[in-house]
A and B are shown apart, each in its own frame.
Chain A
Amino acid sequence: MLAGSVAHAELVGDAEAGRKLAGQCRTCHGADGYAQIPVAPHIGGEPVAYLAAQLTAFREGTRQHEMMSVVAKSLTDMQIADLAAWYGGVTAISDLPDGISADAAPSACITCHGADGLSLMQDAPNLAGENVIYIETQLKAFRTGKRRHAAMTDIAKSLTEAEMRAAAEWYAATQLTLTR
């Protein structure tokens, strides 16, 4: 786990304060965290700790993205906690496509991300309903070291291009519903 998220573990965010701050997120991530553009992930219903860790990583430059590095730069620890509380307060539901069994889910992913793409641990994001290219891009970032994570770096390195694509297509085919 990233050091930043440990430092924040004691900060409890205020979802209402986060809602106001989220005005600057909604063009890409949506008011409730359902992404509005393909390069942005769905962030509604993510584990609070994951959201806080990623915002902190963008702020500190340990994770980089052309847009997120710009907006995260000026966030305080409290603002990060508030935003995480707001988007983490959404409930995420995922449905597999009709006639598809969870048994066919990619075995390398399900322990942390679930067969339906809903996270099973605080350190892992939901993957449900993310588009193929977003997931594939993150896997390649882990493989090349542009993005780092104790578990994901090795997993991404063990996957072939075809396996990455197949895993991305599996989660992209799930239907994400966000409710508050």
Chain B
Amino acid sequence: MNRLLSSIAALALMAGLGLAQGAGVPDNLEKLSNFQQTGVTEFTFIEQGGDYAAGIKATLEKITMPDGFKIELYAVVPDARHMAVGPQGIVTFVGTRKDKVWAVTDRNKDRIADEVKDFAPSLTFSIPNGPCFSKDGFLYIAEQNRVLLFPAAEFFYESPDVAAFNLVEKGKLIPVEEESFNHTARVCKIGPDGKIYISLGQPFNVAPAEKLDLYNEVGIGGIIRMNVDGSAREVYTYGVRNSVGHDFHPETGELWWTDNQVDGMGDDIPPGEINRQTEAGQHFGAPWYGGGSVRTAEYEGEEVPVEVVMPASETVAHAADLGMSFYTGNMFPEKYRNAIFSAQHGSWNRTTPVGARVMVTFIDDEGTATTEPFAEGWIDENGEYLGRPVDVVNLRDGSILVSDDLAGALYRISYE
């Protein structure tokens, strides 16, 4: 309760952030920033049982994992993308690449969600893919071109009207004319420095030279960070193609992140990447490199004008490594402590599909990272996807949740 009270007390400080929307834009943000009611009272609830859930459960029987691990359907969540687990363990917020954010509640603590409903139904979202929480219960949601912040979201989400403020107002995350739909699944996390880190994918297969100055200035094709009052925005990471997952090492505090690499160079190159960043401003090679040390055709033969950090771990080409979290729980065997669990969404135009699985990356004492499959079986014998994992997060009991935007589900993986 203390945490809740302190979060609400902090609202007074946040009030100054509630910047008004542009005139004529039908958005309730202004009202919500002033704690007014919007008149929207209807939630959309998602049916959790029935034939649809049964179909997903049948798929999960095909999933293979190391001995002792169990995977279960945790919730039916349409278009489920990146997840943020509330610090009080009450609710998990789930983003989508459409226009909804889902709030998933396990009220009776049987480790299966009881209720899935839309979050803040009076707000108009655009690609609200990336929710993330601060330790003191502020929920942030990174959208296509805005970042909202919701103080005490675990408390307020029970009402259709939640307190909501701009962290980055609409149209200020990137220039409006640079907006796209593809490569616009943003993710965010709060770093050990208390700043918010937000990935900004660039919309091309290979970014053209004439865009690079603008992109470097804004942080498109990069990861930006800023203070949680929106100040001191800077580009933290350069040379990214489209990163859709990052997390901070629990001990070193270093930022690790996945990247999706160039298409159209054949089935087996370039490799996917899991990267380790050791300081601000490092450059990871795009668009001169298409993935790993493979040079892009568009920039072939050109001298690379920057010092490039190569990936910590290379993954199979086109598997689409997306969301990731370091494992911080106590339920799994000791070797998984501080390992990375990450999701491969699966390839979209490789001759034989690869990916659609959960990977684990072990990091040894020298910092060498080794990635191997952990949970797989979402590609059937005809090469058809039965599910496409997107993100992995820790639950407070030491189990992990995996989201799947094809099946529209969250899975819980536990160990006995």
Chain A contact residues, majority secondary structure = helix
Q: Among the interface residues A24, A38, A140, A160, which one has the most CB atoms of the partner chain B within 10 A? A: A38
Please state if B406 and A36 are interface contacts (CB–CB under 8 Å). Answer: yes
Tell whether A19 is near chain B: CB-to-CB under 8 Å. no
1/0 per residue B93-123: CB within 8 Å of A? Answer: 0001111000000000000000000000000
Q: Which of A28-80 contact B (CB under 8 A)?
A: 28, 36-39, 65-67, 69-71, 73
Tell whether B41 is near chain A: CB-to-CB under 8 Å. no
Please state if A66 and B205 are interface contacts (CB–CB under 8 Å). Answer: yes
- The residue in chain A whose Cβ has the minimal distance to the Cβ of B205 is A66
Chain B residues within 8 Å of A160, by CB: 24
Please state if A67 and B98 are interface contacts (CB–CB under 8 Å). Answer: no
Please state if A71 and B349 are interface contacts (CB–CB under 8 Å). Answer: yes
Say which residue of A24, A27, A133 sits within 8 Å of B127 (CB atoms). Answer: A133
Please state if A66 and B183 are interface contacts (CB–CB under 8 Å). Answer: yes
Chain A residues within 8 Å of B144, by CB: 133
Please state if A133 and B126 are interface contacts (CB–CB under 8 Å). Answer: yes
Q: Which of B4-28 contact A (CB under 8 A)?
A: 24-26
Chain A residues within 8 Å of B353, by CB: 27
Tell whether A136 is near chain B: CB-to-CB under 8 Å. yes
Q: B32 to nearest A CB, angstroms?
A: 18
Please state if B99 and A131 are interface contacts (CB–CB under 8 Å). Answer: yes
Please state if B26 and A65 are interface contacts (CB–CB under 8 Å). Answer: no
Chain A residues within 8 Å of B79, by CB: 38
- Give the interface size bracket for B toward A: 20 to 34
Given contacts A24-B349, A70-B263, A165-B124, contact A38 B180 (CB under 8 A): no
A33-B144 Cα distance, complex, nearest whole Å:
26
A28-B180 Cα distance, complex, nearest whole Å:
17
Please state if A131 and B98 are interface contacts (CB–CB under 8 Å). Answer: yes
Q: B277 to nearest A CB, angstroms?
A: 25
Q: A175 to nearest B CB, angstroms?
A: 14
Please state if B182 and A39 are interface contacts (CB–CB under 8 Å). Answer: yes
Chain B residues within 8 Å of A161, by CB: 24-25
Q: Which of B115-157 contact A (CB under 8 A)?
A: 124, 126-127, 144
A133-B97 Cα distance, complex, nearest whole Å:
8
- The residue in chain A whose Cβ has the minimal distance to the Cβ of B127 is A133
Please state if B97 and A162 are interface contacts (CB–CB under 8 Å). Answer: no
A98-B210 Cα distance, complex, nearest whole Å:
49
Tell whether B329 is near chain A: CB-to-CB under 8 Å. no
Q: B204 to nearest A CB, angstroms?
A: 6
23 contacts between A and B (CB under 8 A): A24-B349, A26-B384, A27-B348, A27-B353, A37-B97, A37-B406, A38-B181, A39-B182, A66-B180, A66-B203, A66-B205, A67-B348, A69-B205, A71-B349, A131-B98, A133-B99, A133-B127, A133-B144, A137-B180, A137-B181, A144-B177, A161-B25, A162-B24
The 7 nearest A-B residue pairs measured at CB: A70-B264, A38-B97, A137-B181, A131-B98, A27-B348, A132-B99, A70-B263
Residues of B within 8 A of A (CB): 24-26, 79, 96-99, 124, 126-127, 144, 177, 179-183, 203-205, 263-264, 346-349, 353, 384-385, 405-406
16 more contacts with CB within 8 A, not counting A27-B348, A37-B405, A132-B99, are A27-B349, A36-B406, A37-B406, A38-B181, A39-B97, A65-B182, A66-B180, A66-B204, A69-B205, A70-B263, A73-B264, A131-B99, A133-B98, A133-B127, A137-B179, A144-B177
